[in-house]
Structure 1
Amino acid sequence: MTNTEIAVLRFGGRRLARALASLPCHDDPDPAAIDAAAGTASRVVVVGSAADLATVLTRLMRTERLDIEVARVSRWRGARKALTGAAQRVPLIRDETGSVLVDAAFWLPPGEDRVIYGEAVVDDDLLFDGEVTAVRIEPTTSMPGLRAAVLTGRMRPRRWLTGRAVQLGTTGARVVRDGVELSREAKRSAFYRHTTGWLRVP
């Protein structure tokens, strides 16, 4: 893969590794800049956080450009692998708002509450019914696409359930997606596998 086929999307003014310095670079890219990179490159390298990677993947999903290979560099040693690594299609997990999840999401108690009241299912399996401290959701690199677990008081998972989708109905919960808390509490929330996976460069 040549340099002309790779573009860098840099967030937060992060320093670029030397291996990336000669590539076309878009700083703090907005949707138009992500579209421009996807229009000229077959691979984009995201220099930023998990939330930044999710922003890029959300845009590629919404514009139906999941044919673009995507690498993320968060440490210096990841730069060369981002340029030379082989892409692999993995499940793409999104929520009901059409935003992508790449690392982890949490359902947390609202306000001053210590528990979430409600019910959650993973596909047809009951995750919980009643009250729990919190729930963690993670994408997986293989089918069916995600896993979810109720967390104990020490925020440790009890048991993981895997499936295509996880859904919550509750009196109220805070939703945190890739380290970013959504502005409004939710009474319903869902994460599920998109019809098309994304091309991840390990």
Structure 2
Amino acid sequence: MIVIRCGSTPVPTVLGEHSRIEVSEVPNKDEINRALAEVGTRRRLLVCGTDAGLSALLTRLMRTENLDVEIAYIAEDATPATRAYGLPTGSAAAKLGVQGRAHEVPLVRDETGAVLVGEATVTGTGDDVLVGEAYADDDRVFTGKVDALTVRVSRDMPGVRATADRPRRFRRRQWFQARAVQVGTPGALITRDGITARRPVKRTTFYRHIEPLRLVLP
């Protein structure tokens, strides 16, 4: 086992005896490549960081075909990813990471090859509403105008959940389970795991990858 610390994220004392690699809060490709080189044959990574940091690491593991590595996620506070996978935080997460067993769960990505570990939101540009349509497999999530579209990962099959955020006067929003969520729009901004893209897009897809994530779970 080896600890990967992203940025200034606290490392619980229970992990003090394990080797540690320091990377940026959202590590770049070169940092992750160096970390993987140091990891060598050790097959479990204890990742202390944020959803964005975990996403960056898993994206690189996926692209380099290293998804056989077991991942333990140790966040300081609750995040969309810890809630999606039912993970503890802080010291409890560290103990689970050392003692727990890895399980295969869906790994969610988008068409650019970036992994989503918690939540993505699709919004209109500027202060505009989101215009377009979205489908969860064959189910229509929305068509026309909504405040935003929210996409979340799920630890259970088929792997992705989506809902349209509408004004409060409308009925309670509905969640759709799917393998893939597709969005088409004249222009929208995407925020993935807390990081907002610099440029608007006209379409995006979030879907379950062909290989699972090996995640340490309670």
TM-score normalised by length of structure 1: 0.92
Whether contact under 8 Å (1:133, 1:152) holds in the other structure is yes
Structure-1 separation of matches of 2:193 and 2:133: 22
Cα-Cα RMSD: 1.5
- TM-aligned CA deviation for residue 157 of structure 1: 6.8
With over 3 angstroms needed to count, the CA separation of the structure-2 counterparts of 1:93 and 1:38, relative to structure 1, is farther
Structure-2 separation of matches of 1:85 and 1:13: 25
Is 1:125 the counterpart of 2:161? The answer is: no
Whether contact under 8 Å (1:38, 1:68) holds in the other structure is no
Q: Secondary structure at the match of 1:40?
A: coil
Is 1:59 the counterpart of 2:60? The answer is: yes
Runs of 4+ deviating beyond 3 Å: none
Alignment-mate amino acid for residue 35 of structure 2: I
1:3 equivalent in structure 2: none
With over 3 angstroms needed to count, the CA separation of the structure-2 counterparts of 1:37 and 1:135, relative to structure 1, is farther
Structure-1 separation of matches of 2:139 and 2:185: 17
Is 1:183 the counterpart of 2:198? The answer is: yes
* Pairs aligned (count): 195
Q: Secondary structure at the match of 1:171?
A: strand
Structure 2 alignment gaps of length 5 or more: 76-89
Whether contact under 8 Å (2:14, 2:91) holds in the other structure is no
TM-score normalised by length of structure 2: 0.85
Q: How does 1:136-151 map to 2 (within 5 A)?
A: 136-151=150-165
Is 1:106 the counterpart of 2:117? The answer is: no
With over 3 angstroms needed to count, the CA separation of the structure-2 counterparts of 1:71 and 1:157, relative to structure 1, is farther
Q: Secondary structure at the match of 1:97?
A: coil
Structure 1 alignment gaps of length 5 or more: 1-5
Q: How does 1:22-171 map to 2 (within 5 A)?
A: 22-28=17-23, 30-74=31-75, 75-113=90-128, 115-153=129-167, 158-171=173-186
With over 3 angstroms needed to count, the CA separation of the structure-2 counterparts of 1:65 and 1:157, relative to structure 1, is farther
Structure-1 separation of matches of 2:167 and 2:58: 33
Q: Secondary structure at the match of 1:83?
A: helix
Alignment-mate amino acid for residue 97 of structure 1: T
Alignment-mate amino acid for residue 180 of structure 2: A
Deviation per CA, 1:120-179: give whole Å up to 9, x if none: 11111111111111011011111111010001336x970011111001110111100001
1:16 equivalent in structure 2: 11
- TM-aligned CA deviation for residue 12 of structure 1: 1.1
